[in-house]
Amino acid sequence: MSATDPRWIYLHGFASGPASKKGVALAAHYARRGVELARLDLRLPSLERLRMGPMLAAVRAALGSERDRAVVFGSSLGGLVAARAAEEDPRVAALVLLAPAFRFAERWRLRLGEDAWRRWSETGWLDVEDHTTGAMARVDFGFLLDVAQIDGRSGGWPDVRVPTLIVHGRRDEVVDIALSRQWAEGRRQVRLVEVDDGHDLLTSIDRIAAEADAFLAPFLGPA
């Protein structure tokens, strides 16, 4: 790639990491095209003390100089981070969002239920599975307060103006596909692709790569 080509960045999901299966598979796919897909670590400042501010700062640092452009992939929570980065940084030229976790804090409260939500707020900690190790870990309640504050901007939805591809599974039980449908509606720069898959989208990687290649053709050289 030349110095004028955009940077390519991948953002993993909640409790995952740079070695996530989708991230590794997509990086290998684009390496065959001569494109380096940089997989960032969003476990910042740590999994226990996650905060959106450090995540967005890491994305900004990876975007390069003021003259650079970037194509940003984001999965689940990484999709929300990617959309928020695009909302405020003109260096983001295009997005590929995989089951993006829109309205994260609001949706988590509904999923947990009021009793579990109250316990989390009172104890300060929620037990979660660390997908990088397979062991149990914990996340502090301050993370949800932090996300809720950012979610409160733009009526709870990221205000994204750049070309955006969303791939979302119709059988997703973690992030309701209705959120992607609602956000995409009326946004002419957004293409929503629905697939017969769950939240992890692991059986749809080839489809994701093909859809992304077509959508990002202006940023790719010849196959």
With residue 161 as reference, give the H or E element that holds it: none
Can you give the pLDDT at residue 21? Answer: 96
What is the reported pTM? 0.95
* Domain residue extents for the chain: 7-104+158-219
Can you give the pLDDT at residue 133? Answer: 93
Can you give the pLDDT at residue 223? Answer: 66
Can you give the pLDDT at residue 5? Answer: 82
Residue pLDDT, tens place only, 3-58: 458 999 999 999 999 999 999 999 999 999 999 999 999 999 999 999 999 999 99
The CATH code for residues 7-104+158-219 is: 3.40.50.1820
Ranges under pLDDT 70 in the chain: 1-4, 223
Q: To the nearest 10°, report the CA torsion of 133, 134, 139, 144.
A: 110
**DSSP string across 95-133:** EEEES--TTHHHHHHHHH-HHHHHHHHHHSEEEEE-TTT
Can you give the pLDDT at residue 76? Answer: 98
